[in-house]
Amino acid sequence: MKTIGLIGGMSWQSSKFYYEYLNQIVAERLGGSHSARILMSSVDFSGIERLSFEGDWDAIGQLMAKEAKRLETAGSDVVILGTNTIHLVAEYINRAISVPFLHIATATGAAISERKLKKVGLLGTQFTMEKDFYTKILTEDFNLEVLVPSPEERVYLQDLIYGQLVKGVFTNEAKERCLEIIGNLKKEGAEGVILGCTELPILIPGAEVAIPTFDTTMLHSKAAVDFAMR
């Protein structure tokens, strides 16, 4: 089994699920006492959050490249980044390492295509919903039509994610508001919805949503295990 390198801490609330899912999937596939081979470099999110709001993506890219190289040097055979938004600097990571880097949007797009869906909603930070680093992969590589919430709803999601979810605050009020936003996307024709922030699946149980949901944390973890066991 190959070793998975995970850049975590963005936020640690979702990173703990990456660790759980990676091990859980390996155990389910191999049985017995098997678990995943994982190296994790967990960063302090505070500085990265500040840089993202300042728009200094070059500085973030350099930090992520450094962490990825550290994981490769330590023995990782593949690297994943445990966040949706910071994939905005994926190219910095790709240039820094010689081992494969698995993009979260690619794992998500593949899962949507398997379900034969053509039009999906995307929830996440404003960076994820409004910039094209994520939607470009979905549209160009998987021929998907991607719907995003209204401008007001995008502001709400941004404030919710950074103000509550990354701090471990998950309320029923926030869940109901997100379900309402998903309902509005469904009215616009969304056949499924991407929970494109790794904290959102913690807040919104898929069973409570009227259309298929795509848990990016789980899908990314499955893609990493697929590679590690190949």
Residue 194's φ and ψ, nearest 5 degrees, are -90, 120
CB 20 within 8 A of CB 36: no
Using the structure block, give the residue that is written with the tokens 């960063």.
43
Which of 83, 85, 128, 216 is catalytic? The answer is 83
Among residues 169, 166, 120, 108, the alpha carbon closest in space to that of 145 is found at 120
Q: Which of 197, 198, 216, 217 is catalytic?
A: 197
Q: Which residue has the tokens 């929830």?
A: 123
3-state secondary structure of 158: helix
Helix (H, G, I), strand (E, B) or coil at 213: strand
- Residue positions counted in the chain: 230
Compute the CA torsion angle 133, 134, 137, 142 (nearest 10 deg): -160
User: Which candidate, 111, 101, 110, 103, places its Cα nearest to that of 128?
Assistant: 103
Q: How many CB atoms lie within 10 A of CB 31?
A: 8
User: Is 197 labeled as catalytic in the residue annotation?
Assistant: yes
217 is catalytic: no
Q: What residues act catalytically?
A: 83, 197
